[in-house]
Chain A
Amino acid sequence: MTGVVWLLRRLVASVAIIFAVVTLVFILIHVAPGDPCVGSDESARDPAMCPLLIRQFGLDQPLYVQYGRYLLQLLQGNLGYSFSLHRPVRDALAETIPFTLQLAGVALLIDFLVGLGLGIYQALRVNRLPDLVLSNVTLFAYSLPTFWLALVLLLLFAEKVKLFPLGGPSDPVLCPLIDSAYCVADRIWHLVLPALTLGLVGAAGTARFQRAAMLEVAQQDFVRTARAKGLSERRVVLRHQLRNALLSFITRFGLTLPFLLTGAVLIETIFAWPGMGRLAVDAILTRDHALVTATGLIASTVVVSGNFLADILIGIADPRVRVAADEAVPLLPA
């Protein structure tokens, strides 16, 4: 199978998966009890308003009619109208997604820089004291419930020692109004704790994974050959082991990418971070059909494209990979 055919097949499969997820989410949220009247809005609770609202949003129609309508709208790029926020879903998403991207981006950076660094360092010192200590530290950090760590970090560094703010994306008084160097610094200052929480737990996992990948490669013949050639240990590890161990790291990258976006749900809630995760939870709790389906669409798109991206990168980086798409099995995080 040539590369182009493989690419096309993967693309079609990806679109099909996203479509299936959207359908599933659509059905689930419409079957779930509750309607626009569940929302927090007082006017919607008025019993006389309920039938009107239900008719206005077409919720009295049979499910397949609603579904057909939704798909038609979706094809035209219309994500629908959120009845809990009283605004188009597209606007609500446009406002929250940048915040999630900021948080996830910085967390990802911490995750990979710290994680890769530790993993490689441990592989260089394998089974010696620094490696043993770090192995236990990463094992512990990897096992922490992320949202609990968030609470503890808040307790330590925002309450006991008042280093960082308690939450929110920026200074609530000044920064929504003015744009200055102070506010840029302020935003970064607000980002530290949530990004550290997400990033450090992820970094512990990445370090464990990378160490295992490096040691796995270390047993292969070409590493022995490199050593037999008389290359320095450093060169063997960094040029031969690391290069090959980075291949499985690419797969991990594809798997982590979506987790940071969706796994941030609780972190966003705890740090009052106005991102998409919090939006999604609120949408589900208020049975906001259009908003729920849209966040499902985005979340699944991120997951699928993360995997897709990883497969393409692997294909570019590793000439040995020439397999059919459905034989590709993702590596388990070690």
Chain B
Amino acid sequence: MTLATWFALLVAIILAAETVRALRQRALGSERWRRFFRHPTAAWGLVILVFLIMVAVAAPLIAPFDPDRQLDIIGLKNHPPSWTFPLGTDVLSRDVWSRIVYGARVSLGIGGLGALVAVSVGSLVGAVAGYYRRWVDAVLMRTVDVGLALPRIFILLMAVALWDRLPFGVLVLVIGLTSWFGTGRLVRAEVLSLRERDYVLAARALGAGAGGVIFRHVLPNAAAPIIVSAALGVGNVLLLEASLSYLGIGVRPPTPSWGNMIADGAPNIYTAPWTTLAAGLAISLVVMSLNAVADGLRDALDPREEGSTT
């Protein structure tokens, strides 16, 4: 690693810490966000997430090498960690740290986009089912029942079998469309109680259409469980991508994702464990941060916590 990349890394760390500190300062004004920051782990989780997002965005500045470049296939194959290669090199003599940095783009991208698809579909289906009730509800909720009874890795394996070589967008869509069932059920339960509220009645009496009521009045008030399940969803999608890549059907090499890096290193794990260890720790770190942030959000957004101190 060169001085410039170390410097860029340091800047990213400081920026992440400062961003969260600034957020915390502003949060003092609102009781909800004070509750979020009372969670020490939630604040740390946020710092790590902000840092990794910065790393993903500024990947070319932070990564010392081209992630796909095979530096010296004979001399630098499975080189242990050193000052030049802080996390060593992999079996094809590629710099592991650079691949982790670029892999953040791919893994966080799939996690974020996949969860976005899942949560959007789940919220919409849940809201429609809960709002219309009757047969619409019955049909949608039976779909959810079936979706939850199908082992997800199973559907994914088969979807992948259909395409053979899965483009990135399709992978995200497939993961997203098989991950919304839980959110759907959760949002529906929330909407069932929301639809009986007076403000919904008022909106309908004023002539608002179903779409308007759902998007303007029902969904915003169901935001708390949706946000929490989104935070958890990103982690789940990340883990799922990792499992798929390990089975050799996720992100296609040479594009680095943390999942396929675990797989890359696995055959050599006894002699050169650093590739697999680094990628797995990166995944664990993100999922842990997301879970911590979700814990904090749950406390912050829980109406029962209003005014309490526990």
CA distance A280 to B146 in the complex (A): 19
Decide if A329 touches B262 in the complex (CB within 8 Å): no
Most chain A Cβ neighbours within 10 Å, of B164, B229, B277, B284: B284
CA distance A137 to B185 in the complex (A): 30
> Known contacts A143-B288, A299-B151; is A151 also within 8 Å of B280 by CB?
yes
Interface SS of A by simple majority? helix
In A259-309, the 8 Å CB interface with B consists of 262, 265-266, 269, 280-281, 284-285, 287, 292, 295-296, 299-300, 303-304
Interface assignment of B47: CB less than 8 Å from any CB of chain A:
no
Interface assignment of A148: CB less than 8 Å from any CB of chain B:
yes
Residues of A within 8 A of B223 (CB): none
Interface assignment of B266: CB less than 8 Å from any CB of chain A:
yes
* Smallest beta-carbon distance A124→chain B, Å: 16
Residues of B within 8 A of A215 (CB): 310
Interface SS of B by simple majority? helix
Most chain A Cβ neighbours within 10 Å, of B150, B151, B242, B273: B151
Q: How many residues in B have their beta carbons less than 8 Å from beta carbons of A?
A: 46
Binds B, one of A28-36, A73-81, A168-176, A190-198: A28-36
Interface assignment of A114: CB less than 8 Å from any CB of chain B:
no
Decide if A155 touches B269 in the complex (CB within 8 Å): yes
Chain A residues touching B, range? 35 or more
Residues of A within 8 A of B270 (CB): 155, 159
Closest to A142 in B: B291
Interface assignment of B194: CB less than 8 Å from any CB of chain A:
no
Decide if B41 touches A303 in the complex (CB within 8 Å): no
CA distance A295 to B310 in the complex (A): 46
CA distance A300 to B148 in the complex (A): 9
Decide if B149 touches A304 in the complex (CB within 8 Å): yes
Which chain B residues have a beta carbon within 8 Å of chain A's beta carbons? 41, 141-142, 145-146, 148-151, 153-155, 157-159, 161-162, 164, 182, 185-186, 189, 229, 235, 239, 242-243, 246-247, 262, 266, 269-270, 273, 276-277, 280, 283-284, 287-288, 290-292, 295, 310
Q: List 16 A-B contacts (CB under 8 A).
A: A28-B158, A32-B161, A136-B41, A139-B41, A139-B291, A147-B242, A148-B242, A148-B284, A152-B277, A266-B246, A284-B157, A284-B158, A285-B161, A299-B151, A330-B185, A332-B182
Known A-B contacts: A31-B162, A299-B154. Give 13 more (CB < 8 A). A21-B150, A28-B158, A139-B292, A144-B284, A147-B242, A152-B280, A155-B270, A265-B153, A280-B154, A287-B161, A296-B150, A300-B151, A303-B149
Which chain A residues have a beta carbon within 8 Å of chain B's beta carbons? 13, 16-18, 20-21, 24-25, 28-29, 31-34, 135-136, 139-140, 142-145, 147-148, 151-152, 154-155, 159, 215, 219, 258, 262, 265-266, 269, 280-281, 284-285, 287, 292, 295-296, 299-300, 303-304, 326, 329-330, 332
